[in-house]
Amino acid sequence: MKILILRSHLKSALDAVSRIVGENLNLPILKNILIKTDTNKIKISSTNLEIAINKKIPGKIIEEGEISILFSVFHEIVNNLQSERIDLEDKKRNLFFKTDNYEALIQGDNPQDFPIIPNIKKEKEFIEIQGIILKDGINKVINASQFSDLRPELSGVLLTVGPNNIKLTTTDSFRLAEKTFSNQQFKENFNIKPKIIIPLKTIQEVARNLEEESNIKIFIDENQILFKTEDLEIISRLIDGQFPDYEPIIPKELSTEILINRNELISAVKLTSSFSSRNNEVVVKIKEDKKVLEIYSAESNLGENKYLIPAKIKGESVTASFNWKYLMDGLKNINSENILFGLQGDTKPSILKSLSDVSYFYVLMPIRTS
């Protein structure tokens, strides 16, 4: 292999594959990346056996070939280079690295020892969606998920393909977020509509690497998923488990409805949280006249504070406690000026949603105080 490549292109590819370079002591090859010529482009690959990423970048190919090298050393060199033009040449499984004022010889490994990156078998059925739409949807639900060894089904995003929409749903058992894409926002041709759990790590890599202006195709097998653009492929195992039956916890009838300015509520939560207790508790209280929402927090070693916000309130007066960080996550994901904050007393799930955008909602459990 002999290629000429620009540092900026190479750096972008290394950044794309960097977070899944493996640390498996029993398989040192997982600390490597694979550099391979592919038609008229250069492909950089990494895998941890759960996820694999292929990133294609432009370059001048003088001789076809491939080599596997230690990622950490190669990445460090590229990050600290000043020159833009880089010559790379495979010499007896060693990579000769040359710029106008720098040279290095990096020991390589047999590319045949690099783990085989699996292919998706079903390539005729897929979802096609714009990168900007998918990325926005992922970012709206991802913070309601968590990594869990005991409950792996919570360590992922539920993707549900329906007859007229697609849903992304996450929960960590304390909160739940769901984003719905209408059939005007995507294309799909599945005969049997899939319902799968995508690992959280995978969906994080998709959101991190996805270019907003690109179109992305999503292919699904029995136990794998592939996200594919013109220059990027992320292939991953799916989570084998049963996602919680969450429909019953979505509030259907609200005992209290609060219509409130989103930015003012965010400011109130931020300010009062300075006095919150160890469990990040803030108290939401509706005054008797139902014209003002009070946000309150106290800590015995610090003091107490409260913030009053004008609001349109219907229903019962109630006092409920929430984890302010969880509450803030939901508020940040709603884009409209005014929001609906719906309560069902102080122990049942509450809901946050926009009045103008029905495609997203966020459910949050109150903190039990007794």
Whether the per-residue pLDDT at 159 is higher than 70: the answer is: yes
Q: Residue 217 sits in a domain of what CATH number?
A: 3.10.150.10
48 φ/ψ sector (left φ>0, alpha ψ -120 to 50, else beta) = alpha
Q: Is 266 a member of any domain?
A: yes
Whether the per-residue pLDDT at 331 is higher than 90: the answer is: yes
User: Quick one: pLDDT at residue 24?
Assistant: 74
Q: Are residues 64 and 6 in the same domain?
A: yes
Encoded tokens for 288: 């008797």
User: Quick one: pLDDT at residue 290?
Assistant: 86
The band of 370, judged by pLDDT with boundaries at 50, 70 and 90, is low
Whether the per-residue pLDDT at 25 is higher than 90: the answer is: no
Residue range 140-158: average pLDDT?
A: 91
| Model pTM above 0.95 | no
pLDDT tens profile 229-251: 999 999 999 999 899 999 999 99
Q: Are residues 204 and 177 in the same domain?
A: yes
Q: Is 39 a member of any domain?
A: yes
Structural domain for 333, as ranges: 250-364
Q: Is 370 a member of any domain?
A: no
Q: Is 369 a member of any domain?
A: no
Q: Are residues 51 and 139 in the same domain?
A: no
Cα 22 from Cα 37, distance rounded (Å): 22
Cβ neighbours of residue 21 under 8 Å, at least 6 residues apart?
A: 30, 31, 32, 33, 46, 48, 71, 72
Q: Are residues 107 and 14 in the same domain?
A: yes
The band of 49, judged by pLDDT with boundaries at 50, 70 and 90, is very high
Q: Based on the structure, what is the number of domains in the chain? A: 3
Q: Are residues 153 and 72 in the same domain?
A: no
Q: Are residues 220 and 303 in the same domain?
A: no
Q: Are residues 55 and 155 in the same domain?
A: no
Cβ neighbours of residue 176 under 8 Å, at least 6 residues apart?
A: 144, 169, 170, 246, 249, 250, 349, 362, 363
Whether the per-residue pLDDT at 101 is higher than 90: the answer is: yes
